[in-house]
A and B are shown apart, each in its own frame.
Chain A
Amino acid sequence: MLRIEPRKEPSRLILYATPFIAVALTILSGFVLFSILDKDPVQATLLIFFKPLTSLYSISEMIVKATPLILIGVGLALCFQANVWNIGAEGQFTMGAICGGAVALALHGVPGFWVLPLVCAAGIAGGMIWAAIPALLRTRFNTNEILTSLMLVYVATLTLNVLMHGALRDPQGHNFPESKLFHDAATLPILISDTRAHIGFVFALLFVVLGWILLRWHVIGFQIKVSGQAPRAARYAGFSSDRVVWFSLLVSGALAGLAGIFEAAGPVGQLVPALPVGYGFTAIIVAFLGRLHPVGVLLAGLLLALTYIGGEGAQIAMKLPAATTQVFQGMLLFYLLAMDIFVNYRIRMRRAAAASGSAAQ
């Protein structure tokens, strides 16, 4: 009989191999899914996973999608390492867009190099405030951050909706629930001409590096990791768990807020009710697929951006349903989590009274 035995130490090799195996298994499952949908599986797989890499334009679009995924993913990686379950990044993204957007609209027509940094700072503040609520409720009132951060997603989306029908609506917009287009001074510079790839991607890369340094060398990064893996040891060492909760939530909120205002001041160019498209949730998958490591998040963010662009291409070329991408992303996370067992355990044929160990976290 097969039985699982805990490893003395987690296998690093398997830890870093699982994302690739998970991707391979997802592609294989895609074959089955496409066959069920009566589409040519080879063509669909090529369209989704390889076609976008063949033209400069689709690579630039990939960068556009990867920017928010990486920014949010780095923040979530910090949170999840600290065992702080911020699943409301979508709300922090939306709040960032609202606050940054409000500043951009208030300063409409004002020239000056300082406008854009101010707009971005407002976006960061918006995301931080939205993440501060679950942080406050958890540290002060002992309230589970999973549910509160998620509930705030709905509140943020509805707030955006209210503002689009009222205060921030374009007066000359024929009653469409949209804001004015942001002024040039409040719009992000473009990275590659004739595309939508913007300077935000550079910042995403910067935060990958900063996140890496923080986790690897800074004392708060160490505290985050210890609090997540061994809360008792962290308490014994005198680390303040409240400090770790506040820090990880505020940083992830700031990054999600920045992603939100980048989206509004970049590819979209205005505030619209449909601005939140689920990057905050997909970034959860990005964080896990990147093994909660900033560099991994970078790669995972690019991969999921690829599936977005490829999915859109397949949608047009093969009339594949739009939700296919979402199903793929969900599957990917499942495979990854399912294979985590091989990181911490090994499969053995049962022998007499083997194994020691205890219930693992």
Chain B
Amino acid sequence: MDLVVSIAIGIIIAATPLVFAAIGELVVEKAGVLNLGVEGMMIIGAISGFAVTIETGSFLAGVIAAILCGALMALLFAFMTQTLLANQVATGLALTLFGLGLAALIGQAYSGKSAPPFPKLAVPGLSDIPVLGRLLFSHDLLVYISFALVIGVAWFLSRTREGLIVRAIGENHDAAHAIGYSVVGYRYAAIAFGGACAGLGGAYLSIVQTPLWVDNMTAGRGWIALALVVFAAWRPWRSLFGAYLFGGITIMQLHSQALGVQVEPQLLAMLPYLATILVLVIISYDRTRARLNAPASLGLTFYATT
């Protein structure tokens, strides 16, 4: 039983950065923007959160710094793609390459340092329930926030006026513009939100999960988050499910040796990447459904004629 619980907790910790990054990118894509710079924003969140935590000794300051820096990177992307009308795919790639370089530059001073353990937030009373208490009520605050965020985004996109406007813009930006909605304004906001979430996901990685700084520590998680949005068919709850599925695969890989599976560790390390490919194939195989799910204006440049 103890092993099961510790595996479950491991899955939660492995999945949380993916939840943050995926739910943020989901909102961005719902607004019709494809930001391939998730990896770059995540790594910047990871290093800024880590550096600020070490320098100030405050987790709160670290997390806030990560959110702000992630959003700042995203605003750079927004300026390029929304104001300067640059190609979204190329700009996203540039954001990732730039982010990885900048993070390595800043991170040089922090390489090999480790952060103090992140405080767990045990819900008084409830956390003492055997098994369930450890499973549900004794995580760090960010895990609860990640769930709240998914609920919040699901509610926002389906139940609020602004959420519907965001979706309308993602489906047909010319029509939304004609009605009088500020396409560029909403998209700036969505992109910044996505960056903040990616930054937070990165910070979770460097402050809570590892907790230390290693170059390239995101190791493709930003890209996996992008795949998760496709997997989720742009639905918030399914992105949560997807993130936990991938968290599970990551943890299986770590625990399989303990369970006596005799395979090279590098072969197991391939699993999340191969699983991503497999999942993408399954999801996009049905062309009609794939087209129905994706926001119709996704990745297209919007130019207001009037």
- Given contacts A137-B281, A284-B97, A327-B102, A151 and B223 within 8 Å (CB-CB): yes
* Minimal beta-carbon separation of A168 from chain B (angstroms): 13
Q: Which of B18-26, B53-61, B241-249, B261-269 contacts A (4 or more CB under 8 A)?
A: B261-269
Please determine whether B85 and A341 come into contact, CB atoms closer than 8 angstroms: yes
Please determine whether B266 and A141 come into contact, CB atoms closer than 8 angstroms: no
Q: Is B300 an interface residue (CB 8 A)?
A: yes
* Minimal beta-carbon separation of B181 from chain A (angstroms): 15
Please determine whether A142 and B104 come into contact, CB atoms closer than 8 angstroms: no
Please determine whether B97 and A285 come into contact, CB atoms closer than 8 angstroms: yes
Please determine whether A158 and B270 come into contact, CB atoms closer than 8 angstroms: yes
Q: Which residues of B contact A158 (CB under 8 A)?
A: 266-267, 269-270
Q: In chain A, residues 131-164, which have Cβ atoms closer than 8 Å to a Cβ of chain B?
A: 137, 141-144, 146-148, 150-152, 154-155, 158-159, 161-162
Q: Which residues of B contact A85 (CB under 8 A)?
A: 89
Most A CB contacts (10 A, CB to CB) among B84, B107, B303 go to B303
Please determine whether B266 and A162 come into contact, CB atoms closer than 8 angstroms: yes
Across the interface, name the chain A residue whose C-beta is closest to B106. A323
Q: Is B10 an interface residue (CB 8 A)?
A: no
Across the interface, name the chain A residue whose C-beta is closest to B107. A323
Q: Is B86 an interface residue (CB 8 A)?
A: yes
Q: Which residues of A contact B277 (CB under 8 A)?
A: 137, 143, 147-148, 151-152
Please determine whether B230 and A154 come into contact, CB atoms closer than 8 angstroms: no
Q: Which residues of A contact B101 (CB under 8 A)?
A: 323, 325-330
Most B CB contacts (10 A, CB to CB) among A85, A143, A344 go to A143
Contact with A along B58-85 (1 / 0, CB 8 A): 0000000000000000001000100011
Q: Which of A115-123, A211-219, A349-357 contacts B (4 or more CB under 8 A)?
A: A349-357
- In Å, the complex CA distance between A337 and B89 comes to 11
- Given contacts A148-B277, A151-B276, A337 and B94 within 8 Å (CB-CB): yes
Please determine whether A359 and B267 come into contact, CB atoms closer than 8 angstroms: no
- Out of B267, B284, B300, B305, name the residue touching A142 (CB < 8 Å): B284
Please determine whether A150 and B223 come into contact, CB atoms closer than 8 angstroms: yes
Q: Is B98 an interface residue (CB 8 A)?
A: yes
Q: Is A191 an interface residue (CB 8 A)?
A: no
- In Å, the complex CA distance between A237 and B98 comes to 39
- Given contacts A144-B284, A321-B105, A359-B303, A330 and B97 within 8 Å (CB-CB): yes
In this complex, the interface size class of chain B, counting residues with CB under 8 Å from chain A, is 35 or more
* Minimal beta-carbon separation of A145 from chain B (angstroms): 10
Please determine whether B285 and A141 come into contact, CB atoms closer than 8 angstroms: yes
Contact with B along A75-108 (1 / 0, CB 8 A): 0000000000101000000000000000000000
- Out of A152, A285, A324, A355, name the residue touching B305 (CB < 8 Å): A355
Please determine whether A337 and B280 come into contact, CB atoms closer than 8 angstroms: no
Across the interface, name the chain A residue whose C-beta is closest to B275. A151
Please determine whether A338 and B86 come into contact, CB atoms closer than 8 angstroms: yes
Q: Which residues of A contact B230 (CB under 8 A)?
A: 144, 147
Q: Is A331 an interface residue (CB 8 A)?
A: yes
- Out of A142, A147, A161, A326, name the residue touching B100 (CB < 8 Å): A326
- In Å, the complex CA distance between A165 and B266 comes to 10
Q: Which residues of A contact B84 (CB under 8 A)?
A: 337-338, 340-341
Q: In chain B, residues 166-187, which have Cβ atoms closer than 8 Å to a Cβ of chain A?
A: 173-174
- In Å, the complex CA distance between A326 and B108 comes to 13
Across the interface, name the chain A residue whose C-beta is closest to B90. A337
- Out of A147, A288, A334, A361, name the residue touching B227 (CB < 8 Å): A147
- Out of A330, A356, A358, name the residue touching B102 (CB < 8 Å): A330
Please determine whether A142 and B285 come into contact, CB atoms closer than 8 angstroms: yes
Please determine whether B267 and A330 come into contact, CB atoms closer than 8 angstroms: no
Across the interface, name the chain B residue whose C-beta is closest to A320. B105
Please determine whether B284 and A141 come into contact, CB atoms closer than 8 angstroms: yes
- Out of B97, B108, B290, name the residue touching A281 (CB < 8 Å): B97
- In Å, the complex CA distance between A162 and B268 comes to 11
Q: Which residues of A contact B287 (CB under 8 A)?
A: 142
Q: Is A4 an interface residue (CB 8 A)?
A: yes
Please determine whether A359 and B89 come into contact, CB atoms closer than 8 angstroms: no
Q: Is B144 an interface residue (CB 8 A)?
A: no
- Given contacts A148-B277, A324-B105, A154 and B270 within 8 Å (CB-CB): yes
Please determine whether B281 and A359 come into contact, CB atoms closer than 8 angstroms: no
What residues of chain A have their CB less than 8 Å away from a CB belonging to chain B? 4, 6, 85, 87, 137, 141-144, 146-148, 150-152, 154-155, 158-159, 161-162, 165-166, 281, 284-285, 288, 321-331, 333-334, 337-338, 340-341, 344-345, 353, 355-361
Q: A158-B270, A331-B98 are in contact. List 4 more A-B contacts (CB 8 A).
A: A151-B274, A330-B98, A333-B93, A345-B85
20 A-B pairs with CB atoms under 8 Å apart are A85-B89, A137-B277, A144-B284, A147-B277, A150-B223, A152-B277, A154-B270, A159-B266, A162-B267, A284-B93, A321-B105, A323-B104, A323-B105, A326-B100, A326-B105, A327-B101, A333-B93, A338-B80, A355-B306, A360-B85
Give 6 nearest A-B pairs by CB, closest first: A330-B98, A326-B101, A323-B104, A323-B105, A327-B101, A333-B94
